Structure 1
Amino acid sequence: MKNILLIATVLFSSLVYSQDWKFDFEEAKQLANEENKNIILVFSGSDWCAPCIKLDRNIWQSEAFKKEANANWIIVKADFPRKKANQLEDSQTEKNRKLAEKYNVEGSFPLVVILDKSGKILSKMGYKNVSPEEYIKMIHAVEK
């Protein structure tokens, strides 16, 4: 019985802090308006950009970020993989390209764009070699 309770607790806690990355920006904006949250838009090269991979592993996958994002932000990922095995559907590639034309004209990777719920840019940042808690503080600092 204790094992079942332990397994159920672990499964539940992983669901509570799982990330809910959005891939459709219009859907994300609608949700941000409904929930009165800012948007974190991440431009990533998930299979070729070393700083993007570090940002994902060190920040986005951290429990601290998952918890904070779940409570405070709508998170959107615009990925630009290069390897054939990782290619996205054409429709998603086109959505990401349009987002880049609007929010990442300089073509920076990784690029983290903090937006208000209407899609207005509050700030941009890249990879920083800091703890997840410090990265979260940096995001909150530009929201004020």
Structure 2
Amino acid sequence: MKKIYLIVVFCIGIVSAQAQDLKWHTDVKEAITIANKKKKPLLLFFTGSDWCGWCIRLQKEVLKTPDFKKWATDNVVLVELDYPRRTPQAPEIKKQNDELQQAFAIQGFPTVHFAKGTVDKEGKINFAGLGSTGYVSGGPAAWLEVANGIIKKK
């Protein structure tokens, strides 16, 4: 009986831990629709997830912390725009990400843009930029201070 109880508790723990994970969108049009419904700006994270040391460091020190998770849930809709070197990527996502890299004039990784977006009747995406940042030393508190300064200007 104790084994069954422990298994049930373990399974509930796994489910609740997964429920707390943040949703990082990869489809920008879908993210824009959600952001507009929730009246929140987009956080566009331009990253080289499998090769960029500063991107990996930003993920570890900030984007995967409980402080960031709470802040993001309350304030933004998350979009990951990845430019991997070793990880396969769907052609439509690669095309979308390349177009957004050009549109936002991304020259280095990581770059985080905050923006409001719209999709017109022809499916064209338009952005109103709020500001941008990258890696900020000092952990989640320092990074969130910069992010709050950007999104509070909206």
The Cα shift of 1:28 comes to 0.7
Taking a change above 3 Å as real, the CA distance of residues 33 and 89 of structure 1, as seen in their structure-2 partners, is: same
Partner of 2:140: 132
Contact 1:111 1:124 in 2 (8 A): yes
Q: C-alpha distance in 2, partners of 1:69/1:78?
A: 17
Letter in 2 for 1:57: K
Letter in 1 for 2:59: D
Contact 2:131 2:150 in 1 (8 A): yes
The percentage of counterpart residues that share the same residue type is 27
TM-score by length of 1: 0.87
Q: C-alpha distance in 1, partners of 2:12/2:73?
A: 19
Contact 1:44 1:78 in 2 (8 A): yes
1:21 to 2:29 alignment: no
1:89 to 2:97 alignment: no
TM-score by length of 2: 0.82
> Which SS does the other structure have where 2:138 is aligned?
coil
Q: C-alpha distance in 1, partners of 2:129/2:113?
A: 7
1:109 to 2:109 alignment: yes
Contact 1:17 1:67 in 2 (8 A): no
Taking a change above 3 Å as real, the CA distance of residues 117 and 16 of structure 1, as seen in their structure-2 partners, is: farther
The Cα shift of 1:46 comes to 0.9
Letter in 2 for 1:93: K
Q: C-alpha distance in 2, partners of 1:82/1:135?
A: 27
- Which sections of structure 2, spanning at least 5 residues, go unmatched? 119-126
Aligned residues: 141
Partner of 1:7: 10
Partner of 1:59: 62
- Which sections of structure 1, spanning at least 5 residues, go unmatched? none
Contact 1:17 1:63 in 2 (8 A): no
> Which SS does the other structure have where 1:113 is aligned?
strand
Taking a change above 3 Å as real, the CA distance of residues 4 and 24 of structure 1, as seen in their structure-2 partners, is: same
